Structure 1
Amino acid sequence: MSELTVQYLVLERCDPARNMARFYVLTIEPTLFGDTALVREWGRLGQRGRRRLDLFAGRVQAIEALETWLVRKARRGYVRRNSTASP
């Protein structure tokens, strides 16, 4: 593993009229076995979320999957959070 840079995106979707306050986090991380993982975490703001890891053979495939999820979530109304604080 020559590159350990972690890409980290935090998305939020808030609609007070519908009592909606959600987060979605997308992270690309290296695994101990040389694979690359796309880690997705989601839930209600202020609470613990659910978490899922998708393994990929290479970083390029993981980045493509991250971009696909980013487009999918943007269509659902999620926007990027400006701060770097965790949900």
Structure 2
Amino acid sequence: MLIQPYHLYVERVDPDRNMARFYTLAIEPTLFGTPRLLRRWGRIGTLGRTMVHDFEREEEAVALFLDLLRERRARGYRVKSVEPLTRG
């Protein structure tokens, strides 16, 4: 059973290079209760590609999650900011 949920969505957009990429990471339990890291990436607006990593312990999944996050941040990926809803 996972102690805490892990979900992340980051984007890298550079109009000068015609670049619009996304990358998602999520740690979820399998049907057997073991942790699974789901990675999805591709061009924004597409389904992209998916890779799944299965682990015996949550700590291993979290370590890979954080390593991948560091790699993406170093390549310029940023968390997408969301504008708050306003009533008018």
Question: Shorter-chain TM-score: which interval?
Answer: 0.7 to 0.9
Runs of 4+ in structure 1 deviating by more than 4 angstroms, as ranges, are: none
User: Gapped runs of 5+ residues in structure 2?
Assistant: 83-88
* Structure number, greater radius of gyration: 2
User: C-alpha deviations, 1:27-86, integer Å up to 9, x for none?
Assistant: 000001222111000010011111110011111111111000000111111011234xxx
Alpha-carbon distance in structure 1 between the residues aligned to 2:64 and 2:4? 17
Q: Indicate yes or no: 2:55 matched with 1:56.
A: yes
Q: Give identity over the alignment, percent.
A: 43
Corresponding residue of 1:43: 42
User: Gapped runs of 5+ residues in structure 1?
Assistant: none
TM-score, length of structure 1 as denominator length: 0.86
Alpha-carbon distance in structure 2 between the residues aligned to 1:78 and 1:55? 25
Q: In the superposition, relative to structure 1, how do residues 38 and 65 fare at CA in structure 2: closer, same or farther (>3 Å)?
A: same
Matched residue pairs, number?
82
Alpha-carbon distance in structure 2 between the residues aligned to 1:48 and 1:13? 16
